[in-house]
């Protein structure tokens, strides 16, 4: 997939992106779940990597990402919830990551890591926890392809959306517009049909959704409905 296609909302104000979070998929039938997302109107696969240290939970590593890459016909959005992510950037890129997001809270030298990600050939994402204010990204926003606003505390799927995320999206949007940066805003955690329109109206570009898609009676239809939302935006 050409890189410009992955981030086409940069080029023109087009539709928001939907990134189903595989964490909520049925891992006993992963190939079918990937096929469903491939056939659906979803844009990316969101893959949650947890190390049992930055977050309490452990998921999977680059070996599994590499296998997932073979099943995926859409870009892989890899969310690293790990300490010292700089040790693994190239490995996840080689495994097939198209976007690599690291946590602000896990990177004392975030500027260096963001550039390391870009040099690996991936798009660089920075995720921030619910307690982290968006203004900490002010001096780096020009260099970040995507900010992932965590709308739950990272570590588990199926948690309740934290409402304070909505004003954070607006603040981040203002910061991005003021800097004339092409950065996308991704929202991750507790996202579904009940809050998607409000998130998009506030300025979200990418909606990550796990349980609301994979536990739905008809996941493909849920993806279609999420994609079909036409928010009234004031920017």
| Annotated catalytic residue 188 | yes
Residue 22: name the closest of 38, 6, 9 by CA: 38
- Is position 189 an interface residue for ligand DX5 (rule: CB under 6 A)? yes
3-state DSSP call for residue 8? helix
- DSSP class of residue 58? B
Could you give the CA distance from residue 50 to residue 219 in angstroms, rounded to a whole number? 25
Kindly give, in sequence order, each residue whose CB lies less than 8 Å from that of residue 111, ignoring residues fewer than 6 positions away.
Answer: 140, 143
**Cβ nearer to Zn ion, comparing 48 with 219:** 48
Stretch that binds ligand DX5, among 112-120, 130-138, 155-163, 225-233 (CB under 6 A): 155-163
Site string for ligand DX5, 191-230 (x = CB under 6 A): x----------------xxxxx------------------
**Which one of 7, 18, 21, 82 is in contact with ligand DX5 (CB under 6 A)?**
21
Stretch that binds Zn ion, among 47-55, 58-66, 69-77, 174-182 (CB under 5 A): 47-55
- What's the closest the beta carbon of residue 194 comes to ligand DX5, in angstroms? 12
**Which one of 85, 155, 203, 219 is in contact with ligand DX5 (CB under 6 A)?**
155
3-state DSSP call for residue 21? strand
Stretch that binds ligand DX5, among 67-75, 103-111, 118-126, 183-191 (CB under 6 A): 183-191
Look up tokens 């934290």; give the residue: 162
| Annotated catalytic residue 51 | no
Is 196 in contact with 207 (CB distance < 8 Å)? yes
- Is position 85 an interface residue for ligand DX5 (rule: CB under 6 A)? no
For residue 19, the partner it binds in Zn ion, ligand DX5, none, with Cβ less than 5 to 8 A by kind, is none
DSSP string, 111-158: HHHHHHHHHHTSEEEEEE-TTS-GGGGTTTGGG-SEEEEESS-TT-SS
- Is position 79 an interface residue for Zn ion (rule: CB under 5 A)? yes
Q: What is the CA radius of gyration of the chain?
A: 16
List active site positions: 48, 188
Contact residues: ligand DX5, CB under 6 A: 21, 23-24, 46, 48, 79, 152, 154-159, 188-191, 208-212
């Amino acid at each position: 997939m050409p890189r410009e296609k992955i981030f086409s909302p940069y080029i023109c104000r087009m539709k928001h992106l939907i990134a189903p979070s595989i964490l909520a998929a049925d891992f006993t039938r992963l190939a079918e779940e990937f096929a469903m997302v491939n056939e659906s109107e979803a844009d990316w696969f969101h893959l949650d990597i947890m190390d049992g240290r930055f977050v309490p939970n452990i998921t999977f590593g680059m070996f599994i990402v590499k296998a997932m890459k073979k099943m995926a016909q859409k870009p892989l959005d890899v969310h690293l919830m790990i300490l010292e992510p700089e040790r693994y950037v190239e490995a996840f890129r080689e495994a097939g990551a198209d976007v690599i997001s690291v946590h602000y809270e896990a990177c004392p030298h975030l500027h260096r890591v963001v550039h390391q990600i870009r040099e690996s050939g991936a798009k660089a994402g920075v995720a921030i926890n619910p307690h982290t204010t968006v203004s900490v990204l002010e001096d780096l926003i020009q260099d970040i392809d995507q900010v992932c606003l965590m709308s739950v505390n990272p570590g588990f799927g199926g948690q309740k959306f934290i409402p304070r995320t909505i004003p954070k999206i607006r603040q981040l949007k203002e910061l991005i517009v003021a800097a004339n940066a092409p950065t996308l805003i991704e929202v991750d955690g507790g996202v579904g049909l009940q809050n998607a329109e409000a998130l998009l109206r506030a300025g979200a570009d990418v909606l990550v959704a796990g349980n609301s898609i994979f536990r739905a009676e008809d996941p493909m239809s849920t993806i279609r409905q999420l994609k079909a939302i036409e928010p009234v935006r004031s920017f």
